[in-house]
Structure 1
Amino acid sequence: MHYLMEDVTLLFADQLKKVSVLVQKNEIRYIGYSAPKFNVMKVNVQAFLLTPSFVFYSPNIPSFSFEAFKTYFSQEYLLKGCGCILTDFAIQYQHQFLEKLEKKRLELLNSPIDYVLGVKLKANKLTPKIVQLCNRETIPVLFIELENSQELEEIPWGWIRETSYPNKPLFIPDVSNVVKPLQQRHLLKKWHEFLQYEKINHLPTPPPSNKPLNPDILKKIGLYPKKGVLKAGGEISYNLVLKQAKRGNLSSWNDRSIVPHISVHNGKFVILNQSPIFRPGFGKEMKIQQTGLFI
C-alpha cells in the first residue's frame, strides 16, 4: 500500500514537529517538513500524534500457555505501542548458557513483536568465556546482578574488555533488591567508574522497565536506527494516538494508560480502533552484530 501522511505531528525524543511521511513499497520512502508531490493516497491524520513504535526493557518474562502469552503480550506491549522488547534469560553457571538461551528462544517463538535477548548473571559468575559466548551467539547485552562493590573489584575487567571485541556487548547493572538505597547509589557509582576506566560499553544505571527506551540507550544497545525511530529507508512501525487522549504536555510520553488508536508493526496493523491484532510468530529476534555504532 502506498500512502502519504501529510502535516502530522511527530513526537520523538520529547520533541514535537510537523512532518509528512510517504510510505511506499514496504518502507518509509520520505519523512520531512515538505510534502512530496506524488500521486498517492493522502491520509488525514492531523488529529493524531505520530510516534515510532516503542522499545521496552521487559525483564523476567515468565513462561506462559499460549492463551496467557497472547493476553500478556497484547496488554503489556501491543496496547502500549511497543514493537520491540529487550528481555533476558538468567543463568547461574556458564554451562547453562546455551540451554537457557534456547529455552528462551522457544518461549518467544509466538511473539507478535520483535525482541532482543540478553543474559542475566551474578557479578561473581562473569567470565571472559561468557562474553565469548555472547559474541558467538550474537547476544548483545549482559545484565550483571550486583550485591556489593567487592564483587566488582574481583572481576578481571581487562580480560573482559579484550574478549568483548568485535561485538562489544553492552553491560547493564541490575542491583539486588536487598541492597539499601544509599548503598545502591554507591554501588552504581563504583560500577560506572570501573567500566568507564576500562572503556567498556555500559549503562551507568538500570534502564526503566516497561517504558519507552530513549534514543541514547537504543544506540548503546545497537538497535538505533533500526528501532525506535522513523526514518527514510526504515521499517514501517509507528503509533497514531489521538491528541485529545494525550493530556497535559504533548511533548512527553509518561501516561501508560494511553492506548494508540492505530499501531503498525513492520507494515502490518497490530492495533485498529484501539483493539489489538495478535499475530503469533510475527516478531523476530534482533541479531545485533555490534553495539554502540552511533554513540
Structure 2
Amino acid sequence: MAYIIENANVLKESGLKQLSLLIKDERIHSIRPSFKKFSYMRLNAESYVMTPSHIIYCPEIPVDTSFPNMKQFFIDTFIVRGCTMFLTNTTIEKEHLLKKSLQQIKRNLLNSPIDFTIGVRISPSLLTPNFIRKCKKEKIPAIFVEIDSKSRLDLIPWGWIREAMFPYNSPLIPIFLDERERQRKSAQMRWTSIMNMEKIPSIEHELKAKEPISRTNLSKMGIYPKRLGIHQGGEVSYNFYLKADDMMEIEESKLFQEYLERLVVAVHRGKVIKAGANVFFRPGFGEHVIVDKPSFFYME
C-alpha cells in the first residue's frame, strides 16, 4: 500500500525541516516539500516531530530468563523508547570459539522483536592479524577491546592489525576496565594517540550501554546509512514525538533521554510497535543485520 506522510517536521542536524514522504512497499520512495498532485491516502504529521528510530548499544541481553521476563525487557528497554535495532556483543575467550559463540548468540536472539547486529568483545591478547581476518570472514561490524592498562596497548603489532583489517575495517572500540579515573583517562589518551598515529579504524570513547549510538559511530560500523535515517530509499522506521516549542533545535539523543513522555508512535520496518500506551510485541520479527561495509565514511 502506498501513502503520503505530509507536513512532517523531520529532525535534521540543522533543526526541523517540514517535508512530505511518499511511502511505497515499506520503503521511503520519495521525499519532497509536498505531493499536491498525488491521490494516495495522506497522514498529516504537522503536530509531531519525526525522527529516525533509535539504535542503542546493549551488551547484556537476559537470554537465560523466562519468555515473559525477556518480553518485558525488550518492551521496557527498546520498544517504548522508540528503538528498532540494537548492537550487542559476545565475549570471545579463544580464537577457535568465534564461530560457535556467534551461532549461540544468534540462536538466543531468535525471538527478538527488533533488529540487531553483533560485535565481539576480546582481551588485547586476542587482537591478532589472524583473529581480525576471522572477524572479517564472519562480517563482524564492531570489535570491542578490553583495556586494563595503557602499557598493554604498546605491545600490540598495530601495523599488522591495520593491514589485516583492510578492506572490511571493523572499528575497534575500547572498554576501559580500570575504575580509577586518572588511569582510565590516561589509557584513553594513549588509545586515541595510537589509533590516530596508526590510522586504525576505531571509536575514541566507550559506548554507553542502553543509550543511542551516534550517527558518526554508526557510520564507522556501516550501520548507517543502511539503517537509521529518513532518506529516499530508506526503510520505514521512524518515531513521532508530540511537537513542543522547545523542540525546534533539539538533538536526537536529548529526545531519547528527556522526552520519552512525548513519544506517541514508533514504527519498525512499516509496522507500528508503539501507539500511545499500546505496545505491539512481535517475537521473531527482528532481523540479524549483516553489515557489508563498516567504516563507511572512514576515508572521507
1:284 is matched with which residue: 263, 272, 287?
287
Q: Which runs of 4+ in 1 moved over 4 A?
A: 246-250
Q: 1:125-136 counterparts in 2 under 5 A?
A: 125-136=126-137
Question: Is the CA contact (8 Å cut-off) linking 1:173 and 1:204 kept in structure 2?
Answer: yes
- The residue matched to 1:96 in structure 2 has which SS? helix
- The residue matched to 1:154 in structure 2 has which SS? coil
CA 1:227–1:12: 2 relative to 1, 3 Å = farther
Hey, what does 1:233 align to over in structure 2? 233
Q: Distance in 2 between matches of 1:145 and 1:173?
A: 6
CA-atom RMSD in angstroms: 1.9
Residue 220 of structure 1 deviates from its aligned partner by 0.5
Moved more, 44-53 or 28-37: 28-37
Instruction: String of CA shifts for 1:264-290, please: whole Å, max 9, x gaps.
Output: 111111112232211111111111122
Residue 195 of structure 1 deviates from its aligned partner by 1.7
Hey, what does 1:46 align to over in structure 2? 46
Question: Is the CA contact (8 Å cut-off) linking 2:123 and 2:145 kept in structure 1?
Answer: yes
Q: Distance in 2 between matches of 1:250 and 1:243?
A: 12
Hey, what does 2:156 align to over in structure 1? 155
Residue 15 of structure 1 deviates from its aligned partner by 2.5
Amino acid paired to 1:24: K
Q: Distance in 1 between matches of 2:28 and 2:150?
A: 47
Residue 249 of structure 1 deviates from its aligned partner by 6.7
Hey, what does 2:205 align to over in structure 1? 205
Residue 292 of structure 1 deviates from its aligned partner by 1.6
Question: Is the CA contact (8 Å cut-off) linking 1:147 and 1:179 kept in structure 2?
Answer: no
Residue 65 of structure 1 deviates from its aligned partner by 2.5
Q: Distance in 2 between matches of 1:256 and 1:90?
A: 34
Instruction: String of CA shifts for 1:202-259, please: whole Å, max 9, x gaps.
Output: 0011123222222211111101112121111111101112125x97776132316336
Amino acid paired to 2:269: N
Q: Does residue 1:216 correspond to 2:219, yes or no?
A: no
CA 1:211–1:36: 2 relative to 1, 3 Å = farther
Question: Is the CA contact (8 Å cut-off) linking 1:28 and 1:236 kept in structure 2?
Answer: yes
Q: Distance in 1 between matches of 2:25 and 2:105?
A: 33
Q: Distance in 2 between matches of 1:32 and 1:145?
A: 46
Q: Does residue 1:184 correspond to 2:175, yes or no?
A: no
Q: Distance in 1 between matches of 2:71 and 2:292?
A: 30
Hey, what does 1:243 align to over in structure 2? 243
Q: Distance in 2 between matches of 1:168 and 1:81?
A: 29
Question: Is the CA contact (8 Å cut-off) linking 1:14 and 1:251 kept in structure 2?
Answer: no
- The residue matched to 2:143 in structure 1 has which SS? strand
Q: 1:1-295 counterparts in 2 under 5 A?
A: 1-13=1-13, 15-35=15-35, 37-63=37-63, 64-176=65-177, 178-244=178-244, 251-252=250-251, 253=255, 254-255=257-258, 257-258=260-261, 260-295=263-298
Question: Is the CA contact (8 Å cut-off) linking 1:80 and 1:259 kept in structure 2?
Answer: no
Residue 13 of structure 1 deviates from its aligned partner by 3.9
Q: Distance in 1 between matches of 2:91 and 2:109?
A: 15
Instruction: String of CA shifts for 1:156-190, please: whole Å, max 9, x gaps.
Output: 111111111221111100111x3311221111111
Q: Distance in 1 between matches of 2:54 and 2:37?
A: 30
Q: Distance in 1 between matches of 2:293 and 2:137?
A: 12
Question: Is the CA contact (8 Å cut-off) linking 2:239 and 2:263 kept in structure 1?
Answer: yes
Amino acid paired to 1:18: Q
With structure 1 as the length reference, what TM-score do the two structures score? Answer: 0.93
Q: Distance in 1 between matches of 2:202 and 2:13?
A: 21
Residue 87 of structure 1 deviates from its aligned partner by 0.7
What is the identity percentage for the equivalent residue pairs of Structure 1 and Structure 2? 32
CA 1:273–1:77: 2 relative to 1, 3 Å = same
Residue 39 of structure 1 deviates from its aligned partner by 1.0
Gaps of 5+ in 1: none
CA 1:199–1:124: 2 relative to 1, 3 Å = same
Residue 60 of structure 1 deviates from its aligned partner by 2.1
Residue 8 of structure 1 deviates from its aligned partner by 1.4
Residue 36 of structure 1 deviates from its aligned partner by 5.1
Moved more, 227-236 or 14-23: 14-23
CA 1:207–1:12: 2 relative to 1, 3 Å = farther
